[in-house]
Amino acid sequence: MSDTPALLVEGLTKRYGPDGPPAVDGLDFVMPRGATWGLLGGNGAGKTTTIGMLLGLLVPSAGRIVALGHDMATDRFAALARMNFSSPYVALPHRLSVAENLRVYAHLYGLRGAERRIAELAAQLQLTDLLDRPAGELSAGQKTRVALAKALVNRPELLLLDEPTASLDPDTGDWVRGWLERYRAETGCAILLASHNMGEVERLCDHVLMLKQGRVVDRGSPAELLARYGRDDLEEVFLDIARDRQRVEMVP
């Protein structure tokens, strides 16, 4: 595995308009290869903007992103070929079948042996029986599995997931989380996860960045954060941060 980190982010800042407040304000972090990190924060904390910049959809106002050793300002397409992304808020064409959708993305990522890869992913994600079904006719859980297959089609070394289990029932959500755990263990893929599901973050993430008003207000492993705030679960920690309640060590 390469020595370069999965993500190196320095002074990352984004303002929409010259006089607007920063949506993301001076983010710094180095995410190692093979790690799973969580990006947490309330609505408007800057998660979507951060992910947009990491994916090259947004140009930062200041700062630098190096993904898998490629500077996103000058060499983003080389990085994008080795990354992928999944979000329930970005759809796949509904009229195309699952197989056709996966074929489109296999080609867009320049994959050789697309059919073999699609069959492999279909078997892993229990999609084989759905390959000929239009994507728009699938249930939420099936769509999530198809979106995951799309996100893994190029065997990414860095995977960005935006609320991967949003709107899924607990059973399907648990299946997806278990699958992601196994996938990371088997492939060493680094995963950056934005989620509002604190149980999911506790289960999957080695490290968490807590965002508020575009800044990292706290960071650490879930266990470190729980200890720091004297809480039993991350949801309470999240609320402490969102409501400006102080950390345990700061309480007199």
Partner 1 sequence: MNALALRHAAGVLAARRIWGLMYRHLALYRRSWPRVLELLYWPVLQMTVWGFVTAYLAGLQNDVASVAAGVLLGGVLLWEVAVRSQMGFAISFLEEIWSRNLGHVFVSPLRPMELVAALVAMGAIRMFAGVIPAVILAFALYGFGLWTIGPVLVPFFAALMMMGWAVALGVTALILRHGAGAEPLAWSVLFGLTPFAAVFYPVAVLPGWLQPVALAIPAAHVFEGMRAALLDGAVAWGHLGAAFGLNVVWLAAMGWLFLRQFESARVRGALLNIGE
Given the rule CB under 8 A, which residues bind partner 1? 14, 16, 48-49, 52, 55-59, 77-78, 80-81, 83-85, 87, 90-97, 100, 103-111, 134, 150
Q: How far is the CB of 159 from partner 1 (least distance, A)?
A: 12
Pick 109 or 238: Cβ nearer partner 1: 109
Given a contact cutoff of 8 angstroms between Cβ atoms, the answer to whether 49 and 23 are in contact is: yes
Q: How far is the CB of 250 from partner 1 (least distance, A)?
A: 36
Pick 46 or 222: Cβ nearer partner 1: 46
Structure token pair of residue 227: 């200890």
- Dihedral (Cα; 46, 80, 109, 124), 10-degree rounding: -60
Pick 21 or 93: Cβ nearer partner 1: 93
Q: How far is the CB of 23 from partner 1 (least distance, A)?
A: 8
* Ramachandran quadrant class, 2 (left: phi over 0; alpha: psi -120 to 50; beta: rest): beta
Instruction: Look at residue 134 and give its three-state secondary structure.
Output: strand
The pairing of beta strand 215-220 with beta strand 207-212: antiparallel
Q: How far is the CB of 59 from partner 1 (least distance, A)?
A: 5
Pick 135 or 234: Cβ nearer partner 1: 135
Q: How far is the CB of 132 from partner 1 (least distance, A)?
A: 11
Neighbours of 249 (CB within 10 A): 9
Pick 92 or 127: Cβ nearer partner 1: 92
DSSP code at position 21: P
